[in-house]
Amino acid sequence: MSTTIARSDRRVSPVFLGLVAIMLVSAWAVWTGSAASTGFAVFLFVVSGWIVSLCLHEYAHARTALHGGDISIGAKGYLTLNPLKYTHALLSIVLPVIFVILGGIGLPGGAVFIERGRIQGRWKHSLISAAGPLTNALFAVALTAPFWLGTMDGVPDPFRYALAFLALLQVTAAILNFLPVPGLDGYGVIEPWLSYKIRRQLEPFAPFGLLAVFGLLWAPSVNEVFFGAVDSLLNGLGVTHLDTYWGQEFFRFWQGEPQIPAGL
């Protein structure tokens, strides 16, 4: 059986390159303050950056599955980083962006279809599931590098806040996706190690796991504990709660430009 992937099946999609271009141009607009609305520029930067991270998240799943034995990945277009190739555009792109707008929560949805029957070995299955949220974790480390390296002096405040808010989304995505809830990647990590009986019992809940987690986060007590843990992790990376708070305030440009108190 041939494992050769056609060049067209792994060529980076113009759609993904366009998203990267939007992210870079909006980042420049936030940095220079050249946009008519700084808040709208922050919104474009965060949303485009978030979608880019979703593409990388799903690419990590697909690439790991390819090396694990699923050679159908290439023909499905998953290696092109094109979000339009994903199985469920609504779950993959639209819902995650809505989650960000409503609650500042980064929660990727299911996207790439992996033919698990082609993959042998429980460790390979676990690694395929873990690859996505691990990508979000690495993205968070990269975004916060200027903070924990102490190189933020002279960086314009709106850009600092936008970077912090995008990092927060990556941290929330990594944590939530590692929850052992059916339908999320964390469950995919442990599923190969469960008995057949337990897997069958939990299988019907998989389509509702994502929404159930998001619904729980609306409970004030759960929300407080969760974001307390997120803030602690970000603090360890040099990002303060004020950084992420003002980042979200700028992101919500439809509420008007935030007035940052003097001395912050």
Alpha-carbon span 27 to 39, nearest angstrom: 12
Pick the catalytic residue from 58, 191, 224, 249.
Answer: 58
Would you call 257 a catalytic residue per the annotation? no
What percent of the chain stands above pLDDT 70?
92
Query: Per residue in 140-163, pLDDT tens?
Result: 999 999 999 999 999 999 999 999
Query: Per residue in 217-227, pLDDT tens?
Result: 889 999 899 99
- Is pTM beyond 0.85? Reply is yes
If one compares 9 and 100, the residue with the highest pLDDT of the two is 100
Alpha-carbon span 77 to 41, nearest angstrom: 31
Alpha-carbon span 145 to 113, nearest angstrom: 33
Q: Which residue, 77, 106, 92, 101, is CA-closest to 168?
A: 106
Q: What is the pLDDT of residue 1?
A: 42
